[in-house]
Structure 1
């Protein structure tokens, strides 16, 4: 017990100490793989720094397949449960079968391998300390997420102790679950660690945003399967060749640990969008100016008014909750200000009302119908 207490803030040292490396099932392993050790060391450095210890640590890992993600889930869980009293550890995955048949058995394996395996009760949906007076407080739970029941992820607070949240195959976990989990990051004087693992199968959603819009909040790792010990490099090379090379989305996702250029619902690939954002339009001033109006239909969508002149595109205004009369009035204001050569309005749904309003007031506009055939 005294030896284990030395590793309260050092998961890397703990895993090296507590696991029977070089013996039995770990006969061919002398310690965690290099990338696993880097993440365990990052947790150590965060906890050992007084300025960051009680600030949430958010780690996102996008990788190719076969690198040992579930093994690291097991290591982090075993350390979290063994070196703090009354910790709260929660694990979820993209699907209930993934959680039940793949991730959870791997977690159980690492608890069984550890020198202190006798400390814990390993059950179908939870792991708890054997002390009957503490098992309700000192526990790890696997929870299958449901977008319709996000409240299952509420109540993760554990003031003054330790919270560890682990997402496996995070790319396809609904944004709503991420949002509810955000609420667990507010306890003071609490060790809070949130780790999201996954193959980067989708270029939209919160997992992607860990490497984009929210990258300043997350400690990010993108791992190529070919750089990891124990992966079959010859088979991976054949796969890269069979799927057409390094830039193919299959290779980006399953080998390189990169997000795909294009999602299944996306018309314009993300890499082209990123390149366009860096482009500086020149000599567009003498070209025709087009005013466009994209009318919001429902929910969180916004009505957007913008212009395009040659290769120069600008968003002029965004509105939420406006009716067709209000949108028409704002459009007329921009017609008078921008003096466009043409006005194009999304004429489907509520947009038809905006078209009618403009024409009734004597303004010419072209209707755009996205689902129609080209002429």
Structure 2
């Protein structure tokens, strides 16, 4: 590597494996890269050396680069030693243990950070960023914090990880594949499986296959995003098929209209309004940091424009919204997610029942909007059965811990299945016919 501004050649003690040698040219030639790898490929070593090379080659003043893992402790354990080891041969390189930062002789700096404190990155810029184990990083960290950091310097980003089911990393993987078709010089997607990379010896890989549960082996070593779908309530294939369906106004003419409202539970959750008419769900309305009064106003406006036959609101955190909407003269039904289901022998609680009915609707002809966030929410909820054989869902707290966010958008759509709904038009026509007969 060439150190600016002199012609000194600096040799870093890094000898890329064949798989890493395939990755480096792609990272060099694309602004955005999504790297899906099996365990023990060496993606972190690859990324650290990519950061070093780009930092040394940067001729701009004060270059800044960041390696980001889901948690600071994890980032320090995974990447900090690698960064110090590979930067050690650089004359004049300075290591700051307190800040987990290496200052290179060129003036560039590389930080090792955790996504668990993303606000610490606000207000700065970046020439390049590596986001490792992206499946465990909240998507908002990139969209709200990292992406703006790249604007002034037109910086690059590498998203890396091993599949962990159909979560935000899976959605990014799908979007990146589409983007790579439209902008092949900007986006690159690479998938490196253990049975193809040559990193793990065939005999050792076969032992891993025998000793590891099948779904874990497929996920961790064969990079299969659907491997853990055995207990996923709504598989991604069903969601994709639902998004491809379309229904015209004539086909929905006599179908009932429902609205589901899921008010935000915590500061970083989303308030969502979902509208559905029969077999068609419409694009959800998603709000962040909206107080109850403002959300109630949005709900009232949506009721006036959509003219639903029923409105269901999550009672858990929607008390203020429910009271205000009723005060405005609209009829709404509060739904406790932990309440008793209409089919107590089949479902453990109301939440499981709504999701179960929604899953059946999706699989039997329901049409979903092409909304990436909704698709991700739908495909991340797991289920099992209690001692009585009733279906129950994974607690929201565990979903949020695993995926970084609560499935708020899908919850709002599930609320439209809280109870059977009859269209008012049909009800009034039925009443007239009964009267006429009498």
Q: TM-score, normalised by structure 2?
A: 0.58
Q: Given the superposition, is the C-alpha separation of residues 306 and 109 from structure 1 closer, same or farther in structure 2, using an over 3 Å criterion?
A: same
Residue in structure 2 matched with residue 173 of structure 1 by the alignment: 137
- Measure the CA separation in 1 of the matches of 2:28 and 2:38: 25
Matches for 1:76-155 after TM superposition, within 5 Å: 76-85=50-59, 86-112=62-88, 116-124=89-97, 125-129=100-104, 137-147=107-117, 150-155=119-124
Q: Given the superposition, is the C-alpha separation of residues 39 and 347 from structure 1 closer, same or farther in structure 2, using an over 3 Å criterion?
A: closer
CA offsets 1:163-182 (integer angstroms, 9 cap, x no match): 22222222222334322111
1:313 pairs with 268, 272, 280, which one? 280
- After TM superposition, give the deviation of residue 307 of structure 1 in Å: 0.9
- Measure the CA separation in 2 of the matches of 1:221 and 1:37: 13
Residue in structure 2 matched with residue 41 of structure 1 by the alignment: 25
- Measure the CA separation in 2 of the matches of 1:240 and 1:313: 43
- After TM superposition, give the deviation of residue 64 of structure 1 in Å: 1.6
- After TM superposition, give the deviation of residue 254 of structure 1 in Å: 0.9
Matches for 1:195-234 after TM superposition, within 5 Å: 195-201=158-164, 203-205=166-168, 207-213=169-175, 216=179, 218-234=187-203
CA offsets 1:101-150 (integer angstroms, 9 cap, x no match): 221212333334xxx543523453222235xxx6xx33222233443x51
Q: Given the superposition, is the C-alpha separation of residues 203 and 347 from structure 1 closer, same or farther in structure 2, using an over 3 Å criterion?
A: closer
Number of matched pairs: 314
CA RMSD of aligned residues (A): 4.1
- Measure the CA separation in 2 of the matches of 1:129 and 1:87: 10
- After TM superposition, give the deviation of residue 366 of structure 1 in Å: 6.8
- Measure the CA separation in 1 of the matches of 2:57 and 2:136: 31
- After TM superposition, give the deviation of residue 371 of structure 1 in Å: 2.5
Q: Given the superposition, is the C-alpha separation of residues 323 and 254 from structure 1 closer, same or farther in structure 2, using an over 3 Å criterion?
A: closer
Tell whether the 8 Å contact from 2:272 to 2:286 is kept in structure 1 after alignment.
yes
Q: Given the superposition, is the C-alpha separation of residues 196 and 314 from structure 1 closer, same or farther in structure 2, using an over 3 Å criterion?
A: closer
- Greater per-residue helix proportion: 2
Q: TM-score, normalised by structure 1?
A: 0.67
1:187 pairs with 152, 157, 178, which one? 152
1:372 matched to 2:372? The reply is no
- Measure the CA separation in 2 of the matches of 1:225 and 1:237: 11
User: Tell me, which stretches of 5 or more residues in structure 2 are unaligned?
Assistant: 180-185, 343-438
- After TM superposition, give the deviation of residue 65 of structure 1 in Å: 0.6
